[in-house]
Amino acid sequence: MGLPDLLWNTVATKDTRLLGFELSRVFSSGLSDGHVNTLCCREGISWDLDYVFLKGIGSSEEPHREFLNGYFSGKLPGSPARGILAVSEDGETRLVSTTASLCGIEAAMYSGDSAMLEWAVRLHIMLHAFIFTLKGEPLVTESDECALTYPESIKGQKPARVTGSVSNEVFTAIEQLREIRASRRAFSESSGIGLLDLKDRGMLAIWRYFEGDKLIAVFNFSETEKTADFGKEFGAFRDLMTGERIKKESVTVPSGGFVWMADDFREEITE
């Protein structure tokens, strides 16, 4: 099964259990090294998931596929996604679109819903932070880098990256992710990597460590703001995206958001 299938399944269900299960297997086997990680594949998404695992948590294959296709095609009431369902030559239904349209940016722009747009842009950036967190090479398409909606993408349109635009906000954030990833030893292919148990199915946390450089990445797939509690082992960290210092034993993450934390100031900060 591919990473796009897993990630978009998590976006729709707001449940990280399958994603965490598969990542734990990959991390323990070392198969993450050298992989290319992306959010959308040219052939489309066919929902190649572990349905044995899903059955164990209460989901049957066909109803689950129908739910995912309904959610991402926008046919499910309340869904912000605007993907396209296409039938391949072998008769299989596949989901095709850009990250912007699947996240809800297209729907929010069309409706003029500023709150939805803010959430959709945050989710778009969070999903890119996720593939940047993993071992392997993050592959960002030109469409996703500029937050192109599917209609814009197939027409070859490129929105101007003017200050304050969605395109500029996403492009700037992805460039920041690239720069941070290139500057931290924790992102070395030789680093250790694993999951932290947050005991919350709406969140997922990944740690990376190499040569004294520790990074914790927390992702919130749920519909509400959540707090990740790390207990007494949590020291003084810095938010790598904002530069803010985190002095508590927990960190709050907005819906559809993420935090990249490094322990740069562990000895410097005192309560």
Residue 270's pLDDT is 34
| Whether residues 215 and 146 fall in one domain | no
Residue 137's pLDDT is 92
| Whether residues 77 and 177 fall in one domain | yes
Q: Looking at residues 128-133, what average pLDDT do you find? A: 98
Q: Looking at residues 132-148, what average pLDDT do you find? A: 92
Q: How many domains does the chain have?
A: 2
| Whether residues 251 and 210 fall in one domain | yes
Q: In this structure, are residues 148 and 100 in contact, taking their beta carbons and an 8 Å threshold?
A: yes
Residue 154 has pLDDT above 90, yes or no: no
| Whether residues 235 and 131 fall in one domain | no
Residue 240's pLDDT is 95
For residues 244 and 74, give the distance between their C-alpha atoms in angstroms, rounded to a whole number.
37
Q: What is the CATH number of the domain that holds 234?
A: 2.60.40.1180
Residue 166: which pLDDT band, with cuts at 50, 70 and 90?
Answer: very high
Q: Is 144 left (phi over 0), alpha (psi -120 to 50) or beta?
A: alpha
Residue 54 has pLDDT above 60, yes or no: yes
- Alpha carbon 118 to its chain centroid, in Å, reads 16
Q: Could you give the 3-state DSSP secondary structure of residue 230?
A: coil
Residue 266 has pLDDT above 60, yes or no: no
Look at the pTM and tell me if it is higher than 0.85.
yes
| Whether residues 85 and 209 fall in one domain | no
Q: Among 142, 163, 183, where does a domain finish? A: 183
Neighbours of 37 (CB within 10 A): 21
For residues 66 and 10, give the distance between their C-alpha atoms in angstroms, rounded to a whole number.
15
Q: Looking at residues 10-30, what average pLDDT do you find? A: 93
Q: Looking at residues 143-165, what average pLDDT do you find? A: 79
Bridge partners (DSSP) listed for residue 241: none
Domain that holds residue 107: 3-183
| Whether residues 147 and 216 fall in one domain | no
| Whether residues 113 and 9 fall in one domain | yes
Nearest-CA neighbor of 141 among 98, 106, 102, 82? 98
Q: Among 156, 183, 210, where does a domain finish? A: 183
Residue 7 has pLDDT above 50, yes or no: yes
Residue 234 has pLDDT above 70, yes or no: no
Residue 61's pLDDT is 96
| Whether residues 213 and 117 fall in one domain | no
Bridge partners (DSSP) listed for residue 137: 36
Q: Could you give the 3-state DSSP secondary structure of residue 44?
A: coil
Q: In this structure, are residues 85 and 95 in contact, taking their beta carbons and an 8 Å threshold?
A: yes
Q: Among 183, 211, 227, where does a domain finish? A: 183
Name the token pair of 98. 């850009």
Residue 238 has pLDDT above 70, yes or no: yes
Average pLDDT, the chain: 89
